[in-house]
Amino acid sequence: MKLKYALFFLCVVCSAVVIAQQEGGRRIGGGRRGGGSGQTTPAVLPDPSHPSGLPSKAPDQGWVGEGWYPHEGGLLKMNVQIRFGVEIQHDVKPDAWKQMPKGWVFGRVSAVSTDSHANVYVLHRNTEIDPLVVFDQNGNYLRSLGKGVIRDPHGVRVDKNDNLWVVDRAGQIIKYSPDGKTLLTIGLVGQRGKDASHFGLPTDVAWDSQGNTYISDGYGNSRVAKFDKDGKFLMEWGTPGSGPSQFSTVHSIQFDSKDRAYVSDRENNRIQIFDTNGKLIKIWNHLGSTQGIWISPKDEMYILTHRNNVENITADTLAGRLMKIDLETGKVLASMESPGHEISGSPNGDIFVASLTGNVLRWMPHPQFSRSH
């Protein structure tokens, strides 16, 4: 009889342990997940062990063998949904998902941005449909615009008032109201030049704290052009070359809260940092060939970059790194492999990457690096 009670007690204890482990797994894995399966699975912590018994070069990143370098700055703790807006989100019921119109597919996705409501603006290059498609934060289709107006899509940003700015390499920058009405156009479509009203294949747009607009005029020209809030030309800086304040493909631009402009000088493998009048503050030479820059209102900085300009162009942005950067020192805080052309962040903490593969990647912060499928 005593043996019977002892076995019964042992079974109860074991059951309690199993339940506790399951609950713990649910707590660890209970965050938002990537993928389209609709299931939530526990996070898988990096396992530094290996059948050989050899030590990992970076135990906090899991098994890293001698043939690999650890991730720069440590592993960026995020999981990912690789086809935002195209595949159903994990937390959306199939009968509630509003898809794009039937037959619509993205072309090369050149840029992505978000507004204060966490809506996502996708700029792509399928000329058969609207080049600008808008989704809510769960990937539900909301609306679209721009067919016949946006000729060569390259950049898209949303300003602090939720106005939408599209950078058209055909020579124009278009400002839309939140409801899609055209408010301002800078530049002349189809007319290339280098003056107050002409661009040479512009790439990106940003604003300082006073509402002035800065346009990176980066493929045909090598300059940053500054305009006031009404679109009046104020000044420019930059010339072709590799010296200080010179550029070779000005590809992306962002401002921090101190009104410092971070400019991707892509083919020179560097980021140059200026004040609002184009005075050079410093140069970062250690981050490679940077495709895209995004700085949050809290001065959190993320970049899409490559080892160098040769690798960037040869792999057509597929060999990239998503990096989190310390704004003051330029130190790499964490990184993760990610193809991509441009980058933006959402108020809910998600990072969105526009990929020329025709996809939008939704990177979601997670306390542990974890599998999404």
Q: How confident is the model at residue 26 (pLDDT cuts 50, 70, 90)?
A: very low
Mind listing the pLDDT tens digit for each residue in 181-213?
A: 999 999 999 999 999 999 999 999 999 999 999
Highest mean pLDDT among 11-15, 52-56, 126-130, 366-370: 126-130
d(C-alpha 11, C-alpha 9), whole Å: 5
Q: Are both 275 and 233 inside the same structural domain? A: yes
Three-state SS string across the chain, please?
A: CHHHHHHHHHHHHHHHHHHHHHHHHHHHCCCCCCCCCCCCCCCCCCCCCCCCCCCCCCHHHCCCCCCCCCCCCCECCEEEECCCCCCCCCCCCHHHCCCCCCCCCCCCEEEEEECCCCCEEEEECCCCCCCEEEECCCCCEEEEECCCCCCCEEEEEECCCCCEEEEECCCEEEEECCCCCEEEEECCCCCECCCCCCECCCCEEEECCCCCEEEEECCCCCEEEEECCCCCEEEEECEECCCCCEECCEEEEEECCCCCEEEEEHHHCEEEEECCCCCEEEEECCCCEEEEEEECCCCCEEEEEECCHHHHHHCCCCCCEEEEECCCCCCEEEEEECCCCEEEECCCCCEEEEECCCEEEEEEECCCCCCCC
Two structure tokens written together for 117: 């409501």
Same domain, 274 and 309: yes
Q: For tokens 């970076």, what's the residue? A: 58
Q: Quick one: pLDDT band at residue 214, thresholds 50, 70, 90?
A: very high
If asked whether residues 169 and 274 sit together in one domain, one would say yes
Tell me: do 256 and 192 sit in the same domain: yes
At residue 367, the pLDDT reads: 73
- pLDDT digits over 226-268, tens only? 999 999 999 999 999 999 999 999 999 999 999 999 999 999 9
Q: Do 47 and 167 fall into the same domain?
A: no
> Does residue 372 fall inside a structural domain?
no
Query: Residue 77 pLDDT > 50, yes or no?
Result: yes
| Contact in structure between 368 and 75 (CB atoms under 8 Å) | no
pTM given for the model: 0.87
pLDDT higher than 50, residue 81:
yes
pLDDT reported for residue 269: 98
* pLDDT tens digit sequence for 113-172: 999 999 999 999 999 999 999 999 999 999 999 999 999 999 999 999 999 999 999 999
Residue 99 has pLDDT above 90, yes or no: yes
148: domain CATH number is 2.120.10.30
Query: Does some domain include residue 207?
Result: yes
- Residue 10 pLDDT greater than 70, yes or no: no
**Residue 279, in any domain of the structure:** yes
pLDDT for 21 beyond 80: no
Task: Say if 66 falls within a structural domain.
Answer: no
* Same domain (yes/no): 236, 160: yes
Does residue 5 have a pLDDT over 90? no
Predicted local distance difference test score (pLDDT) of residue 92:
80
Q: Do 23 and 171 sit in the same domain of this protein? A: no
Q: Which of 26-35, 52-61, 107-116 has the highest mean pLDDT?
A: 107-116
- Mean pLDDT of all residues in 360-372: 76
pLDDT for position 369: 59
- Higher pLDDT pick, 241 / 18: 241
pLDDT exceeds cutoff 80 at 46: no
pLDDT over 70 for what percent of the chain?
Answer: 86
Q: What is the mean pLDDT of the chain?
A: 88
pLDDT at residue 70 above 60? yes
pLDDT of residue 363: 96
Does 269 map to a domain? yes
Most confident of 61-65, 75-79, 121-125, 366-370: 121-125
Residues 194 and 238 in one domain: yes
| Mean per-residue pLDDT, 331-354 | 96
Average pLDDT for residues 212-229, to the nearest whole number? 97
Joined tokens for residue 308: 């160098």
Claim to verify: residue 6 and residue 119 sit in the same structural domain: no
- Tell me, what's the pLDDT at 43? 52
> How many angstroms separate the CA atoms of 190 and 201, rounded?
10
Residue 110 lies in a domain: yes
What pLDDT is attached to residue 16?
A: 41
Q: What is the pLDDT at residue 368?
A: 66
Q: Higher confidence at residue 47 or residue 286?
A: 286
**341 and 218, same structural domain?**
yes
Residue 126: predicted pLDDT = 97
Q: Do 50 and 145 sit in the same domain of this protein?
A: no
Question: Could you tell me if 180 and 54 lie in one domain?
Answer: no
Answer whether 87's CB lies under 8 Å from 373's CB: no
Domain membership of residue 16 as a residue range: 2-32+41-61
Measured between alpha carbons, how far is 309 from 111 in angstroms, rounded to an integer? 19
Q: How many domains does the structure of the chain reveal?
A: 2
Q: Is 68 domain-assigned?
A: no
130 in any annotated domain: yes
Of 162 and 95, which is predicted with more confidence? 162
